[in-house]
Structure formats: structure tokens, C-alpha cells
Structure 1
């Protein structure tokens, strides 16, 4: 789904993820504690996380040949990270070990499934432009899509986008956590996928309605992005392209934990585009993956496998033609 005809042609189906990896320390409780309060929880998990790693696992479970570029420390968490990625079929040949600690995310989840997260980058801050260049040189010829985020130093995200664009890859940017980027980057992005909060922070437009999402999407297009996909949880998502707007309703599910729902969406979107799906169909499959992810606890453990996503979509086939990308009835998460 490469938008700029001047880039080199590609005949590959791989997804290259450049991003963060953490160990996720997650607590579950009926509500979140107030400032200064100690509150008893219900459960605790320690699992692979980080937006980059989660998205790599999701793309791998979607069926894409997947390669991950990132950094881990020299601590007890590093072997757990490697095992979690390789178990999902992720190529970790460019996962570099650096002195110090592996990144950590502290996640708190309440009974409604909502969460808050403190992410400590640690080893993720040691990623380098040279490491990115080496990975692109080796892996770009067999990759179709670059998927990246903003949990690594944002200057390196921009470096990765420039390099991937120059080598002909379709660039998908999940701008989370939101951070201002150089204006020169936007024309190199094929698909940007902010949620409503990130879109509001980046554009200055309060995304509290479908109409506002369209305005925010147009803000990205005005700066050169080919497609803007604004996700809005229970309100579905809005796809804005040149001269076109498409609303994609959400999938109705029971929410248990929203952690990594956006990563499931991004990973499946990238994998579907790399496999040659058009954007509406890719969004439909990504929406199903994100919906299934919120029905389970945890980050990487909640990421669904391809057979589960396909089965979920099959249940919707009688109510909506999958070709229109709507993904069935409006519900809780895109």
C-alpha cells in the first residue's frame, strides 16, 4: 500500500517493527487508589510488553513474517523478553543487549477495564541510528511495512521513518505517546493511527465527536500524510484520505482490560497491509483483533491469534459485508 510512486518497488510481505520493549508489571483492583492511599488489589501479572514488542507479537500472530528492532538490558528480564518474542515467531536478530536494565511499564487496571501506565524506558533509550540503519539495510528488501511508535527517542522514530521511506516501505506510525514531530516527517507517513487523545494533543483539535475526528484527520493530510486513521474506542474509527472519509463502527465486546488493544490493532493493520489487503479490509481485521484483546487481561497475553480473529469476523459476515470495512455493529473498541 505504498503511496509515493517515486519510492523503490517492493515485492515482500514482511513487517519491520522498530520500537520499545518492556516487562509489564500489572496490578488489577476494583478501583485505582487515591493519591497517598494503599489499596488492596485482586491480581498481579509480569509479562512481555512495550508498544513495539506488543505490536510485533500481534503482527506475528496475524501471520506476517515479523522482525523487531530494539534494546534490552543485562538483567533478569532480558531472557523473558527474548522468549516472549521468539514464542510469537518474531525475528530478534536486531534486538540488542545493552548495559543496565530492561524497560519496565507499571500498569494499573480497574474493574471497568480502564488502565493507567507509567513507562520507564531504561534500555529503550539506548537504541541508535546505526542500529536502525543496519536493520533497514538487511531487512528492508524482504519487508513491505515499517511499523513504529514514540516510546523510543522520537528523533530515532523520525530517523527510522526517513530510512524506511527511502527504501520503499509503507510507513505506519502509531504516534503514542503523543509528541510533536518535525513537519518534514508527515509527508513520509502512509498511515498515521492516533487515538482520540493523541489526535487531540497533536492537532490541537478536541476529538470528542466523529466530526472532530474528521477535522483532526484532515490536519494530518494537510501536512502530507496519505491516510489518517483516528481510533475512538466505543465510537469506532474514522479513516480520512484525500477526498474521502469512512467511518468504521466498533465491535461490540465485553471489556476486561484495555491494555494493548491499540497494539493489537496496529500489529494486525500492518500485517494485513503487508499481505496485500486494501486499507478498509485491513482496518476491519485490525478492529476485530483490538476488540478481542480487550476481552482478556494483560498486554501480550491478550493479543489474539489469526484463527481467533478470523472466527470473530466470520460471526459478523451475516450482518455486514466485510468488503466495506465496517466490521459489524458499533460497540466498545475499534
Structure 2
């Protein structure tokens, strides 16, 4: 079965500065090189889903500028439906500056722009699109109020909702009640629950806390260690595939997008989908950039064929 995935999220043009090491406070350093590419958590997740075979559509907003058209074209290049990407006359297209050191670690500064100017009213035109989906994904680079309204529409029509609470911030009332699966990394999970993530027991404690908050299905990604999952009937840990990372940008987004292309609507094959998602993100971290680093299903299959 081919999943129909809708992503409600951010569209950013990424500027990456390649540096030897992160600057100290007050320090001026030189960048070895600079690259520009399409990105944003929403765009990355949508492209990852599309390249893994999902029929993918996007709900978002760009500015009336060259960067906005650049982002729309980038989505179309991966056969993503952009009919529900609005153009905002008052705000510029979102952008991000990424500092990438020689060890492959990054620091990211994001300008929300048109992403943060999204309003709930724009969803009126998107209900039929959401109704037709199997999976709806959103994150926190667009307003939570918009995600909440979209998730309510999804639940009205029996669509599975996946929330990536990144960057972590206080979750508005009601949103978790219409979320089927939450996928934070270890830092985001600790921020939301108040429980540090450092071993299996602490992951279980995070799962218990999320259950109290109304979320029965949880995945916590822990970088190059792997991913923990918890459902009402099972829990476990899927180790990451060991590779030499060049750039961790978009690794988490690749994970979520690839996962959404394989997981069943009832989340019954969560562990199987997790393994595939780990395979996809392991390839992403070996490449530079956001969208350019995301692998296709054929690349993943070739890399990990049994």
C-alpha cells in the first residue's frame, strides 16, 4: 500500500556556513565555504516521504519573493503537490543560517517569516486534502494553533496525526488530544516532560509522562544511538546504523518523513517502519545539506539490501 502523506510545515531557504569549530561567545571566525539549499523542517519531511514513495502534499506559506518560488519549485521537483502552499504578501519566505563544523555537528538559527504568519483560516481550503490523507505530519516551525485546527480536521476524517515538537516549546491546550504519535528527540522530550533522557528507564518514564498527557504512541530519537518507541502494547529500542557523519542537518526530518511512508495508519508496524527510517537517516548524515542529502527508496534499498 502507498501512503498518502500531507505535511503542514515550514519552508526555509538554508544558508550553511562551513566552519572548523563552533565560535565561542564574542569570537569572530572565518567560514571555509558557504552553500545555499532548500530546507525547513516541513520541506525536509515532505521530500523524505516523497522520495520513499509516499504520495505527498504540502500545506504551508512562502513570501512573494524569489526564495518563495525557489521553495515551491523544490517541492515540485519531488512531485509534491503544492496547491496548498499560500503566498504571503506581508512577510518574506522563511530562512535559516546553519553553522556546520568539521565533525558534522550543527547549530541552526531560523527566521520564521511567512511560516510563522500562517493562520487557521487558510485550512478551510485544505479540508478535502486532509480528508484524503493517511498521515498528517506537523512540527513547531509553524504556529501551533494552525496545527491544532489541522489535526482536528484529521481526526474528524480518521487520519493519523504525527507531531514533531521541534523546536520544543510549551504545547497549547488540546493539541495532544488530537495527536496519535509524538516524535521528539531526547532534548525535546526532556523539555516537554521535565525528565532527562539518558537510559531506558528514563525513556520509559518519559513515555509514562506522555501517556499522562494523553499520548499513547511515542518515539524518542537519540541521534547516533537510535530510537526508542512506546505503544500501549509494546516498547523497545532500535539501534542506529553506524556511519561516519558529515552533516546531521535534516537527519531527524528524514527519519520522520521516511517513517511516514512506511508506517500503517494504525501504527501497528511501528518497529519495522523505524528500522527503515533509521536506514534513511543514516544515509542523510553522510551527505551535505538538507534536501540534497535525503535519499530515495532505491538508494536506501541498495545500501541495505539483505
- For normalisation by structure 1, the TM-score amounts to 0.87
SS at match of 1:126: coil
Q: How does 1:250-261 map onto structure 2 within 5 Å?
A: 250-261=240-251
1:17 matched residue in structure 2: 7
Q: Distance in 2 between matches of 1:157 and 1:278?
A: 25
Q: Distance in 2 between matches of 1:140 and 1:243?
A: 28
Q: Distance in 2 between matches of 1:183 and 1:80?
A: 35
CA RMSD of aligned residues (A): 1.7
Q: 1:107 aligns with which of 98, 108, 112?
A: 98
SS at match of 1:178: coil
Q: 2:182 aligns with which of 192, 202, 205?
A: 192
Contact 1:145 1:273 in 2 (8 A): no
SS at match of 1:113: coil
Q: Distance in 1 between matches of 2:227 and 2:30?
A: 36
In the alignment, structure 1 residue 309 sits paired with structure 2 residue 303: no
Q: How many residues align?
A: 304
Q: How does 1:1-334 map onto structure 2 within 5 Å?
A: 13-99=3-89, 100-135=91-126, 137-273=127-263, 278-314=269-305, 317=306
Contact 2:13 2:67 in 1 (8 A): yes
Q: Which stretch of structure 1 is more off in the superposition, 176-185 or 74-83?
A: 176-185
| CA drift at 1:274 | 5.7
| CA drift at 1:243 | 4.1
| CA drift at 1:34 | 2.0
- For normalisation by structure 2, the TM-score amounts to 0.95
Q: Distance in 1 between matches of 2:259 and 2:10?
A: 18
State the Cα deviation string for residues 106-127 of structure 1 (Å, max 9, x = none).
1101011111111110111221
| CA drift at 1:244 | 2.2
State the Cα deviation string for residues 247-295 of structure 1 (Å, max 9, x = none).
1111111100000000000101111126898211111111111111110
| CA drift at 1:182 | 3.4
Q: Distance in 1 between matches of 2:264 and 2:39?
A: 23
In structure 2, runs of 5+ residues without a counterpart are none
| CA drift at 1:12 | 7.5
Q: Which stretch of structure 1 is more off in the superposition, 271-280 or 192-201?
A: 271-280
